[in-house]
Structure 1
């Protein structure tokens, strides 16, 4: 196939890659911002041009044909090379400009990232920034994210990882609640207290503690369960019970003595604790806006985040 015939197929190949990675025509269409019918026509044009069936489709599922698997591999390399070409051009710029797509968990994004991101936008007006907030797993490649920020001790393999700080979980209650019901001295004492938990699944009722070689698993109960940290924090501030929070959500209230840490000598097991890490693709050409943004948030985390830093 000569170049004149190949060039019009490049966009069809890119759409084909998105269909395969998204797992459906409708999801690819939503991601690309076009109609599902346009996606379907693009794949059909590619199949007709190559005179090969790339996707085997039924009403319930879609899978690559043997030829489609090989074509997808080359098309994916083509798209990656195109992205690297853009990165190479942007990496040599002295100014900070271009697009930047960030993903982060909800509580972290709202509590810590939002003020930093808004300041970054004001300081670097030539950068067009998109913030994707989600608690489910984000694939930085298929979801086309430039910088992935998460709380984890197991960063995504193959990506550059910059540690911004550390976050632990804190058990706390209001002074009024503790004055009325007493301060727990051991995790087992929580059985006799009003504990506010997530309530997303049955395991949320079981709080697991450790201290040196000691371990304790406590079945807690209370008048209120909610999978929203800010609502649960408000309930704690109003003296309704004891609950668990990432430290960045509760540190200001600890400092102002609106809440008091409970069982500070014990470590509680759960999500939303570990290293706060920013990750981005490993390449010889890192776009300038990515490098500047990661350093910007790293500096701000150190100065005013309210989390532990290394």
Structure 2
């Protein structure tokens, strides 16, 4: 089997951290992906991946081979483009979407860097707190938080974020700090997004799911408002870790029940190109992925 193909399959498995996800990304069957990686390891006589029923992770040797494989694949694609007469400098227009606060905090720095590097490009940034259909709405690249449904889109995982509970020190001075999720219904709850009279918050303990229904005292339509209410000492809210990380660091907010937090949410950069992305899309995805990986760590 072609070595470049095996490298491509291996890169997909390593980046997706799973064989099934890599198979979806490549349009292959999971058994074919498994055989390709096994063939690569057998030929190299080196173990590239540690496998378990819960995860797939690269070994130390696998990480080195992953870096080299990415470089080789990029060089081959660049050579193909050059031979086809495609200008190596990205030119044209790109439309990018992301959630509002996430886009402002993490995607905009990447967009600015991209525009400064490539003067022949211009970008439309569409920051919305809803899922944008890339194909129907003419968007080239999107940043998605959460598990992705099966899709023909290409996706690159760039990190993780957590769902966290928080409250201000002032609120906790006046109220007993909850020790379990079951104690939350006795507290003043601030809910962001859902307008339902009762909201179900899901947690986990020792990998066992825990669900608690709470009645919000305040319901707001956006996360900024929920954060302001928390800072003012009104109650407890549930937000995403990146939205309140600076407030945790400054001591303005306190993280509650970290031992009950559910599994972290993956963050992906997705695009609607077919097997090989255009140079303007690929160059943007590579750059913004680098920016995001520098910031998205599990805390």
Please indicate the TM-score interval, normalised by the length of the shorter structure: 0.5 to 0.7
Q: Is the 8 A contact 1:112 1:248 kept in 2?
A: no
Gaps of at least 5 residues in structure 2 are: 1-80
The offset of 1:107, in angstroms, is 2.9
The offset of 1:208, in angstroms, is 2.2
Confirm or deny that 1:299 pairs with 2:290: yes
Gaps of at least 5 residues in structure 1 are: 1-86
The separation in 1 between residues aligned to 2:231 and 2:241, in whole angstroms, is 15
User: What residue is the counterpart of 1:166 in the other structure?
Assistant: 160
Q: Could you state the TM-score of these two structures normalised by the residue count of structure 2?
A: 0.65
The separation in 1 between residues aligned to 2:210 and 2:275, in whole angstroms, is 48
Give the 5 Å matches for 1:241-280.
241-268=235-262, 274-280=265-271
Give the 5 Å matches for 1:121-270.
121-198=115-192, 200-202=194-196, 205-212=199-206, 214-268=208-262
Q: Is the 8 A contact 1:197 1:204 kept in 2?
A: no
User: What residue is the counterpart of 1:100 in the other structure?
Assistant: 94
The offset of 1:92, in angstroms, is 2.6
- Which of these two proteins has the greater Rg computed from alpha carbons? 1
The separation in 1 between residues aligned to 2:114 and 2:164, in whole angstroms, is 30
Q: Is the 8 A contact 2:142 2:270 kept in 1?
A: yes
The separation in 2 between residues aligned to 1:143 and 1:256, in whole angstroms, is 40
- The partner residue of 2:279 within 288, 295, 309 is 288
**1:67-116 deviation digits (Å, cap 9, x = unpaired):** xxxxxxxxxxxxxxxxxxxx999993221221111122223222322233
4+ residue runs of structure 1 moved beyond 6 angstroms? 87-91
**1:153-201 deviation digits (Å, cap 9, x = unpaired):** 1245112111111111011111221122122101111122111013633
Q: Is the 8 A contact 2:164 2:255 kept in 1?
A: yes
Q: Could you state the TM-score of these two structures normalised by the residue count of structure 1?
A: 0.63
The separation in 2 between residues aligned to 1:147 and 1:241, in whole angstroms, is 37
Count matched residues.
218
